[in-house]
Structure 1
C-alpha cells in the first residue's frame, strides 16, 4: 500500500492534454493581478483533482490511465503491481459511484474558503451527460472520445448530493449513488466565495483553455476542446451560463454489472453447450445425521429440541473459479490472483483494427481467439494486444482459472420430530409438499463458515424449509493450502481476515466479493440438477448474514434479472432475508468499531509517511507491553493503533493526527473505487426495480447500554450512503415495528432492533463489547429468527413481530 493515492504524478499521464512549454510562456506574459483564490487545475504539471476523465486520455483498453502503469519502455507493469491502491484504479473503466470527493482550491496568505458558500446550492452543480464514443447513443457514438456530447439533465442539490467546505477544498458528498456507466460533469461556479467575499477564480490554465481563441500546440487544443465541450453541453439547457463557470470536469462512473451478467449468461449457455461446465449439486447416500448431533460433536448443547428434527447431509458442486491460485504462502502472494479477462479489450481490438486495415485477421488465430469472437459476436479477440486484460464493460468475459469441487451443506425437516414441535407451539401437522421441500440458500458472514448458519435450520425446518449452504471463497472448507502440507495457508475462518478482505490488494478483495456472488449463481443453477427429489428447486429463497448480506444484492440482481423465459425459473430467488448487512464497504470498514482500528492500523503501517514510520516503531516498542507480541494480527494491530492515536491526542499532536486522517481519506477514496463493482450499494436500485421482496434487520441500539451494530454500523459519519440503513433505503425497504398482515403482493421491510448485536440472528449469547446482556440477546435471537421464518414462509406477504419491546421505528 505504498504511496497511497492523491499525490499522483499525473504529469506523465496528461502530457498530451496539458499546457506544455508554450502554455507556460503564455502564462509568463500575463500581467500580474491581485492575488486571488483559485481552483487548482494545471494538468501539465500534475495538478488535478480526481475523479477526472482526463485520466482516460489515450486509454488503450478503456481503463483509467494512472501514472506508473507503463515502465520506461512502455511495457505494462506486472499484475501484482496493481496491489498499490493508486495503481488499482488503473484496472477500472471509471470512478466510484458513491465515495465523497474533493476539488482542491488554492488560497493566498491569510485568505481562506467561505465555508457557508461552499455548502450553498449553486456553488457546485452536477450535470449528467453523454460523452463521445458512446456505446448506447447513436448520435454520440461518432463524437470524439473524451468530449461531452449531450446533456441528460442536472442533479438536485440536497436530494442527489450536498457540498461543504473541507480545508482548502470543496467536498462533494453523494446522497444517492451516481448511475453506473453514466457520465457527469462537475461544475464550480462564481457562487463559491473566499473569506473576503470574492468569487473563487479559475486557474490560469483553465482560464486560458476555456477561451474561444484557439491555442497553439496539439496538447493545448485537445484540452481546450475537452473543456469547451463540457461548458457547451452544460450550458445548452439554459440553466447556467459560461460566465458562471470557474471549473468543469467530467467523470465517468465505472460499470458494475457486466462481468457478473456475463457469468450468468455463460452458466445459462451451459444448458445447451456441453463445452461449457454446467454445475450440478450432488448429495451422495450417507448415514442419517441430525443437526443436533453435529452440534453435540462440537460440544454445543442446550439448544432447541427442534434441531433433532433437522437432517444434516453433505454434498458437492463443481463451480468455476475466476480467482487464480497463489504461488506462495505470504499474504502478498495473493496480490495477482484477482480476476482476468480471457480476451483482449474491445477498445484494444478496435484500435488495432483501425490501424491494421486489411491486415487485421478476420479468422481466429487460436482456439481461445475463436472462443472470444464466438462469445462476443466478434467484438472481443485474443490477438495479444492487451497484456493486463482488465475486466470492464469493454472486456466482460472472465477467464476460468480452475474448477473447484465445493462442499455443499444440506438440511431437511425430519417430520415426526418437527410435527411434535409444531404441535407444542399450536401449529398444524406438516407434510412434505408433492414438489418437495422449498429450499433456502444460506450464506454466512466473514471469518465464519457455512456450519454457523445451521443455527437457523431448526426455525426453518419448523416452517417446512430445506436449506443448502456453501462457504465463501477462502473460508471454511475452501481454504487454500499452497504447499500441500495439509494446513491452509489462506483461510479467513481459521486465519487472517485479509485472506478475503484483502487490504494488501484491493482488486483481490473486490474479486473475492464477485467470486462469492458468482458461486451463488452457480449454486442456484446447480440446484436444478440435484440428485434429490425431496427438494423443490423451483421454490428457492435466500438468507444472508453479514458478508452473506453484503454479496446478496449483486447475486439477487443477476439471478432475478430476466434472461429468457425457459431459463429464468432455473435462477429465480423468490424472497430474501438479510441480517446485519450494509453497503459502502470502505466507509463502514473504516468506521467499524470491530474492524475499523485493524483496518486503519494496517493502512497506516503501509502508507509510507512519517506517521507510518512512527507507528511501525511504536508497534515494536511501547505497544508490546499492552498489546502483546507484535504479530500484526487483528487483535494486536487494533490495540496498537488505538494506543498510538490516543498517545498522539494526549500529546496534542494535531498535525500528525490530521495527516493520519488524510491517509484514511485517501484510502477510502481508492479502496471504495476499487471495490465498487462488488459493493451492494451499486445494486440497490436494481433490487428495487426488480421488486424482489426483501426483509432486513439492523441492530441500532437503545441509546443507552446496548450499542448499535459494532461490525457494520447502521450509519457512517463520513459517507451518508454507507452502512446498513442507507442500503435498506436505497433498496426501497419500509421500516416497520409491528406485525404486517398478509397482503396480496409481497412487501419489503427493514426492522430496527434496539437490543442484541451483530451476530444475534445466529446466537443468543451476549456480546459484552456491544453492551448486550444475556436476556436481551436471547430475546433478540428468538425474535429475529421468528421474523425471518414468518417472512419466508409467506414469501414476503406477511411479517410477524412478536416482541415489540426490542424493536423501534
Structure 2
C-alpha cells in the first residue's frame, strides 16, 4: 500500500482569490475584541473542504482534478500513482453518494463551535440542482460547466441527512445515498453559531466572491461566477435568502452503473456482432454420473447421504476480463490492473480540438499535430457502441478512465472460467425422498429451474455445494463460478504451477485490494459483470435439462454484496427481445452488507487487519511507531501468528491501540482516528460504483422478490455477524440492516404468503454466525454454539428454499427460536 494522507481540506491547487482568513491575518489590537469564527475556504492556497466540484474545474477527461495527477500539459501524459488512495479520486467522475463528510471552520482562541447549532435543522441545507453542461437536461446542456443551472429541490434534514459538530468542523452524515450522477449544493447558514452565540461568518475569500460587483482577474471572475450561480439557484425556490448563506459549494455524485449497463448492452448484441464476445456455458456430456457426495469426499468435507442424490458436473464459460493481468508476483504488481476505457474521453478530445483551434486562431497552424487524431484499432467498436459519439485516438487521453462520458470498458483478455453444475439425480434422490415420506420429483417439461450460486470472499464455488442438497430436494439445478482471483481463478504469473494471487488460498488483499482501491472496485465490478455473462450464457448451453428461462440467485457474503449490482442490471429492461435472457426471478442473500469501506474498518474479523494495514501505509509518526511495535513488543503475544501477516497484524493492532490507551496517548490515538477517517472517505469514494448501497434503490424499484437473512445475535453469548456488522458506528447507512432497509425489505418473524405478487423480506437470526447459511458448525469467535449454529443453518436453508420455490410468494419460518425481531 502506498503512503496515504488525504487532507479533508485538500490541497486543490486552484487558482483563485487570495485572502483566506486565518488567525495570523487577524490584527487583534484590542484585546476584548474576539475575532469571528469563519468557514475555512481559500482556493488560491488550496484550502477547500471536499467534496467540492471546484476540484473538477478545467477537468481534462471528466474526472476530479487531484493535485499532482497530470504533467504540465495535462491533456495526455499521466504521472499519477493511482494506487495512492487520495490520488485514486482523480480517476472518478464525481464524489461518493454515501460517505460522511465535513466542512472545516476557523475558530479563534477560546472559541469553539456551538454543538447544538451544528446539529440543528437549518444550519446546513442541501439542495439538489442541475449543473451546466448537463447530459440529461437540454436547457442546462448549454450552460457553463461548473455553474449551477436549475433547482430540483431541497433535501430534508432528519430524513435525508443529519449534521453534527466534529471538532472545528461541521459533519454532514447522509441517511440515504445521494443520487448517482446528480449534483447538490451544500449551504452553511447563519444558523451555525460559535460558543459565544455568534453566527459563523464567511471567509474573506467567500465574502469577496459572493458580491455582485465584478472582480478583476480571470480566476476571481471564474470563482465569483461559480459561487453566485450556486446562491442564485438555491434562492430561486424562495426557501432561503442570500443574507442567510455564509458558504456554498457544489458536489456532483459519481456515476454508478453506466459501465455495467454498457457491458450488458454489449452482451445483448454479442450474438449478432462477431467483434464482441458472446458467452456460452458449455457442459460436457459424460457416460458416468458423479455425485456431489463424491465431490465432497474428494474435498475432504462432510458428505451426508442426501448429497448422493445430487449430480455434479463441471463445465466452463468464456468471459471477457476487463482486469488486466499483473506482470509481476509482488503485491504492488496488481496496482495498475484496474479497468480502463476502450475509447478516448470525449472531454479530452474536445479540449484537444479547442487547443488546436486556438493555435490556428493565433496563426500558429504549424504547431498543430495532426497525428493526434489518428485512430486506433478500437475505432470501429468505439463508434458503433456509442452511436458515433466516441473515438479511439491513442495519443489522446492515455489515462482512459471510465466515466459517464466514456463508459465502454476495454477487454484485456478472455477467461475460460470453470462452471460448477448440480442437478437432482432422480434415481437416488427419489429413493431418499420416499424414505423420508416426501413426494418424489419428476423433471419439469422445460427442464430444472436454475439457481446461480455466488460464494463469499476468501471462499470458493465448492463451498456453495453445501446448499445444493436442499435445493435439489425441491427440484432446482444450480450453477456457480468463482469470483475473480478466487478458487480456480487464481493468477499464476510466473507459470510455476502455484497461484501468485488467490484470495481463497492467500491474502484477501488479492481481491479487496487496499494497495490499489481502483483494483478493489473493479474486482467488485468484474464479479457483477461475470454474473451477467454467466446468466446470459445459460441460454445457450444446449442442455435441455436446464430451464434457462427460470433462473434465481443465491449469494453469500461477497456474493450478496455484488448481487444488487448484478440483479439491477439483469432485470432493468433493455429490449423486450433480450430481457428474458438476463432475467433473474427471485433472489436470496445471506450475510451481505453495504458501505464497504465503513464496515471493513468496523468488522470484528477484518477490521483490525484493515486498520493496521492503513496505519502502516499512512506515513505518519504513528505509522513508524506501529511498524517498530510489530518487530518488538507484539512478538510476545502475537508471535504465534508471525507466519501469517494478516493474522499477525490483526493480533498486533488492537494491542498497540490498547498500549496507547493505557499510556494516556490521547493525541496519538486522535491522529490514528484521523487517518482512518481520511482513508474511509477516500476508500468509500473509490469503491462507490461497486458498492451495493448505490443499487439498493434500483432493487427496490424493480420489485424483484428478494429475501435476506442477517445474524444479529441474541444480546448475550451469540454475537452479531463478526465479518459484516449489521450496523456501523460511523456511518448510519453502512452494514447489513441499512442495506436491507434501503432495498425496501420487510422485517418478518413468522411465515409469510402472497396470492399474487412476490414480496421481499428480511429475517434476523439470533443464533448462528456469518457462514451459517452453509456451515452448521459452532463458531467460538462469534459465540455461536454447535446446537444454535446447526439450527440456524437448517432454518436459513429452509427459508431460502421455500422462498425460491414459490418465486417469492411464500416464506416458511419454522424454528422461531433462532429468529428475532
Q: Give me the TM-score of the superposition, normalised by structure 2.
A: 0.95
1:368 matches 2:369: no
Q: In the TM superposition, what are the counterparts of 1:96-107 in structure 2 within 5 Å?
A: 96-107=96-107
1:668-692, Cα deviation, whole Å (9 max, x unpaired): 0000000000000000000011111
Q: In the TM superposition, what are the counterparts of 1:322-721 in structure 2 within 5 Å?
A: 322-356=322-356, 365-383=375-393, 384-628=395-639, 630=642, 633-721=645-733
1:55 is matched with 55
1:181 is matched with 181
In 2, the alpha carbon distance for the partners of 1:403 and 1:348 equals: 29
What secondary structure sits across from 1:647 in the alignment?
helix
In 1, the alpha carbon distance for the partners of 2:10 and 2:633 equals: 36
How far did 1:154 drift?
A: 0.1
What secondary structure sits across from 1:600 in the alignment?
helix
Q: What is the number of residues matched between the two proteins?
A: 803
2:148 is matched with 148
Does the 8 Å CA contact 2:75/2:397 hold for their aligned counterparts?
no
Query: 272-281 or 413-422, which moves further after superposition?
Result: 413-422
What secondary structure sits across from 1:247 in the alignment?
strand
Does the 8 Å CA contact 1:317/1:523 hold for their aligned counterparts?
yes
How far did 1:355 drift?
A: 4.6
1:122-150, Cα deviation, whole Å (9 max, x unpaired): 00000000000000111110110000000
How far did 1:371 drift?
A: 2.3
In 2, the alpha carbon distance for the partners of 1:582 and 1:74 equals: 39
Query: 660-669 or 66-75, which moves further after superposition?
Result: 66-75
In 2, the alpha carbon distance for the partners of 1:417 and 1:203 equals: 78
Select 2:17's aligned residue among 5, 16, 19: 19
How far did 1:297 drift?
A: 1.9
What secondary structure sits across from 1:311 in the alignment?
strand
1:506-544, Cα deviation, whole Å (9 max, x unpaired): 000000000000000000000001131100011000000
Does the 8 Å CA contact 2:77/2:398 hold for their aligned counterparts?
no
Q: In the TM superposition, what are the counterparts of 1:735-750 in structure 2 within 5 Å?
A: 735-750=747-762
Cα 1:348–1:687 change in 2 (3 A) is: same
What secondary structure sits across from 1:532 in the alignment?
coil
What secondary structure sits across from 2:552 in the alignment?
strand
Cα 1:55–1:451 change in 2 (3 A) is: same
How far did 1:23 drift?
A: 12
1:64 matches 2:64: yes
In 1, the alpha carbon distance for the partners of 2:28 and 2:607 equals: 50
What secondary structure sits across from 1:772 in the alignment?
coil
What secondary structure sits across from 1:481 in the alignment?
coil
What secondary structure sits across from 2:419 in the alignment?
strand
Q: In the TM superposition, what are the counterparts of 1:42-121 in structure 2 within 5 Å?
A: 42-71=42-71, 74=74, 81-121=81-121
What secondary structure sits across from 1:491 in the alignment?
coil
Cα 1:253–1:34 change in 2 (3 A) is: same
1:166 is matched with 166
What secondary structure sits across from 2:810 in the alignment?
coil
In 1, the alpha carbon distance for the partners of 2:49 and 2:437 equals: 65
2:787 is matched with 775
Cα 1:436–1:424 change in 2 (3 A) is: same
1:281 is matched with 281
Cα 1:614–1:402 change in 2 (3 A) is: same
1:273-298, Cα deviation, whole Å (9 max, x unpaired): 12211100011123311111111123
1:357-401, Cα deviation, whole Å (9 max, x unpaired): 699899973432232122112211112210100001011000000
What secondary structure sits across from 1:367 in the alignment?
coil
What secondary structure sits across from 1:150 in the alignment?
strand
In 1, the alpha carbon distance for the partners of 2:578 and 2:789 equals: 43
What secondary structure sits across from 1:726 in the alignment?
helix
How far did 1:432 drift?
A: 0.1
In 2, the alpha carbon distance for the partners of 1:620 and 1:72 equals: 42
Does the 8 Å CA contact 1:53/1:249 hold for their aligned counterparts?
yes
1:152-187, Cα deviation, whole Å (9 max, x unpaired): 000000000000001110000000000000000000
Cα 1:148–1:631 change in 2 (3 A) is: farther
1:207 matches 2:207: yes
Does the 8 Å CA contact 1:20/1:220 hold for their aligned counterparts?
no
Name structure 2 gaps, 5 residues minimum: 361-367
1:227 is matched with 227
Does the 8 Å CA contact 2:452/2:553 hold for their aligned counterparts?
yes
How far did 1:435 drift?
A: 0.3
Does the 8 Å CA contact 2:71/2:78 hold for their aligned counterparts?
no
